[in-house]
A = this chain, B = another copy of it.
Amino acid sequence: MTLDLTADAVALTEQLVNMESVSRDEQAIADAVEAALTPLDHLTVSRHGNTVVARTDLGRGERVVIAGHLDTVPVNDNLPARREGGLLHGLGSCDMKGGDAVILRLAATVPEPNRDVTYILYDAEEIEAEHNGLNLLAQRQPELMAADFAILMEPSNAVVEAGCQGTLRVDVRTRGERAHSARSWMGVNAIHGAAEVLRRLDEYDARRPVIDGLEYHEGLNAVFIRGGVAGNVLPDECVVEVNFRFAPDRSEADAEAYVRELFEGYDVSLTDSAPGALPGLDVPAAKAFVEAVGTTVNPKFGWTDVARFSGLGVPAVNFGPGDPMLAHKQEEHVPMEHIERCEAQLRGWLTA
């Protein structure tokens, strides 16, 4: 598979969507990105697993990171890409190959930006943080992420979305005692024991705090459930995997404590955690970018690597084509006009 960077950003989005790249299966798309960027003389390209970094080195007074992830959630009968009216449909069109296409077009066509740029296209954003390509880069070569400001091209309706919510996962486990299902009074059914766990999830009422004038919206969801030994055995274990999305006014520790209290009486073990990021619009570099592109500012509900940059002391915002409400839905799509507008605004900012 090869990418044609002379195509316009919409056609390039289409090419990227048609390169299936479910998390942990990004080698082909990363190979194509690396092969497309390497011939460009104004960029220094390096490869880190399935993450590709391309940098200008013009000695400008400021450096910005523009980043996007290459992976998608599992295929859901929504490939290949399809154009209809002003929309491009298909898995990843919104989350976030439209943004990736803008990154690749800028990398290919702005050889002398007014600030140095580090373009990062990385893998494994849709799964556990331990696999996240940007996380691994931050641990192993943080110098490649150093910048005055970062823009993540996560879908944000082509306006600036500030901050992000944190995310954590816990396994809530119920235990029982195996017995033959024909003599069930001799055992304890661990799946039945999960009824109350699911009831608490079903009755959960989401908090919606307002921070810096932006309304966040928390969420608590079972994302997996499993239990069972054999068709005639009472199961002795049931595991509910719960994902908590928490507003950035909670720390990871506060969020964990909240979930542990909610599931008091059950065996709760933390499996994954990433902090949120406060809106951070008071940082000068962020203010300057927002003024330059002239868009409105909304809160970011999804966890994004904004938090990872915040953790490294680099102010960062989300700014990309597509409606984040459509991310991970079968009917995912992106307005072509969003892709064109994001590209034009960033090109204007980098060449003013």
Contact = CB atoms under 8 A, between A and B. Distances in A.
Interface of A: 23, 73-74, 76, 95, 126-128, 165, 167, 169, 178-187, 189, 191-195, 198-199, 201-202, 206, 217, 219-235, 238, 240-241, 243, 245, 272, 301-303, 324-325, 327-330
A270 B116 CA distance: 64
Contacts of A73: 229-230, 232-233
A243 B166 CA distance: 40
B198 A182 contact: no
Given A180-B327, A184-B219, A228 B224 contact: yes
A208 B180 CA distance: 17
A195 B192 contact: no
Given A232-B73, A232-B243, A243-B232, A181 B329 contact: no
B182 A301 contact: yes
Given A178-B330, A222-B227, 4 more contacts: A165-B182, A178-B329, A181-B219, A191-B240
Contacts of A233: 73, 223, 328
A185 B303 CA distance: 16
Contacts of A328: 178-180, 230, 232-233
Contacts of A231: 127-128, 169, 223-224, 241, 243, 272
7 contacts: A73-B229, A181-B221, A181-B243, A187-B329, A189-B201, A192-B202, A193-B202
